[in-house]
């Protein structure tokens, strides 16, 4: 067994926003257990960000540690969020089979949750190891979390079912743990899409010494994401796949798989009701190219999330 460790921080105003009030209809059950307060989503998301890294390694989650940054005079808030099931960490931890084994509390200028997650894998996947010719498979959808954030910031109240799913994708993302574990024996490399497809695919290509061609029509996007992409393109002339290519925080799982093993992996995923979208393949060129049908498309202006902006 190999020990796999990852750390990721979620900060108020950056990765979550305690000032967000959740749209009506998401405020109470039966909206998939989503609680009334945005605070109860912060811990879920912080843990999910870390679990998504374990998923990309094909690791089984075991233990995590959580360092809290707490603003001065926030003791009341702290009690409230602790009461609200540890910022929402508890239900995701339980569901994922990961145990809290340590932590820290420090006074800080803003709320933050810095989590380190530990897992075990027999043959851990990494960004390195993929070859030209490998298929690119994606488990999960693109652009939903970024649209969800936009809806929250606009304080949108009348949401379609699909838009609500986007808000849930932003607040309580689902790490693709099962897909990662299933893929580990088949895939040559993997990465989770936290900063946008193009940016994270770029990391995988760089570490594996390859390039990629993406079939944009194959990118999995919900109807709400397709609709705003079409509207954006019409009104501002933006790239027709800008949100699917560059939207962050989807925590979808990108897999590079040698052609000979791709069919087997897809059926193994299907057997667990998981769908893998074939979105392109790796190339020798060391560049990322986009195509739609037979047509080459330019890259969008913005590739993804910059951690320091």
Which spans of this chain sit near a copy of itself (rule: CB under 8 A)? 3, 5-9, 11, 13-15, 63, 65-67, 69-70, 72, 74-75, 78, 101-110, 112, 114, 116, 118, 307-309
Q: How far is the CB of 10 from a copy of itself (least distance, A)?
A: 8
Q: How far is the CB of 136 from a copy of itself (least distance, A)?
A: 25
Nearer to a copy of itself, 72 or 161 (CB): 72
Nearer to a copy of itself, 175 or 240 (CB): 175
Tokens of residue 153, six digits: 């910031």
Nearer to a copy of itself, 40 or 112 (CB): 112
Nearer to a copy of itself, 149 or 257 (CB): 149
Exposed e or buried b per residue across 175-193, where buried means at least 16 C-beta atoms within 10 angstroms of its C-beta: bbbbbbbbbbebbbbbbbb
Nearer to a copy of itself, 72 or 301 (CB): 72
Contact predicate 250/171, CB 8 Å: no
Nearer to a copy of itself, 63 or 232 (CB): 63
Tokens of residue 69, six digits: 């940054």
Q: How far is the CB of 289 from a copy of itself (least distance, A)?
A: 29
Q: How far is the CB of 57 from a copy of itself (least distance, A)?
A: 11
Task: Write the DSSP string, 131-184.
Answer: -TT-EEEEES-SSHHHHHHHHHHTT--S--HHHHHHHHHHHS----HHHHHHHT
Residues paired with 65 in a beta bridge: 102, 116
Cα–Cα distance, 61 to 175 (Å, whole number) = 11
3-state class of 118 per DSSP? strand
Q: How far is the CB of 309 from a copy of itself (least distance, A)?
A: 7
Q: How far is the CB of 27 from a copy of itself (least distance, A)?
A: 28
Contact predicate 162/226, CB 8 Å: no
């Amino acid at each position: 067994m190999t020990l796999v460790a990852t750390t990721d921080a979620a900060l108020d105003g950056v990765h979550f926003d305690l000032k967000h009030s959740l749209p009506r209809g998401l405020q109470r059950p039966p909206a998939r257990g989503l609680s009334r307060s945005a605070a109860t989503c912060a811990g879920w998301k912080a843990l999910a960000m870390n679990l998504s890294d374990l998923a990309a390694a094909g690791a089984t989650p075991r233990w995590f540690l959580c360092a809290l940054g707490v603003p001065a005079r926030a003791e009341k808030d702290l009690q409230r969020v602790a009461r609200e099931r540890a910022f929402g960490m508890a239900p995701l931890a339980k569901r994922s089979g990961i145990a809290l084994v340590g932590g820290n509390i420090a006074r800080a200028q803003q709320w933050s949750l810095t989590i380190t997650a530990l897992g075990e894998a027999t043959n851990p996947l990494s960004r390195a190891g993929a070859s030209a010719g490998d298929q690119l498979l994606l488990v999960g959808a693109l652009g939903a979390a970024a649209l969800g954030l936009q809806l929250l910031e606009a304080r949108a109240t009348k949401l379609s079912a699909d838009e609500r799913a986007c808000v849930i994708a932003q607040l309580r993302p689902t790490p693709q743990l099962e897909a990662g574990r299933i893929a580990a024996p088949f895939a040559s490399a993997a990465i989770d899409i936290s900063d946008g497809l193009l940016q994270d695919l770029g990391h995988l290509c760089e570490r594996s010494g390859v390039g990629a061609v993406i079939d944009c029509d194959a990118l999995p996007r919900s109807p709400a994401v397709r609709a705003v992409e079409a509207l954006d393109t019409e009104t501002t002339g933006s790239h027709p796949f800008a949100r699917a290519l560059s939207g962050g925080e989807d925590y979808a799982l990108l897999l590079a798989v040698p052609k000979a093993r791709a069919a087997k992996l897809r059926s193994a995923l299907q057997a667990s009701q998981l769908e893998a979208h074939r979105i392109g393949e790796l190339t020798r060129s060391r560049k990322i190219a986009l195509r739609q049908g037979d047509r080459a498309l330019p890259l969008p202006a913005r590739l993804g999330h910059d951690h320091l902006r």
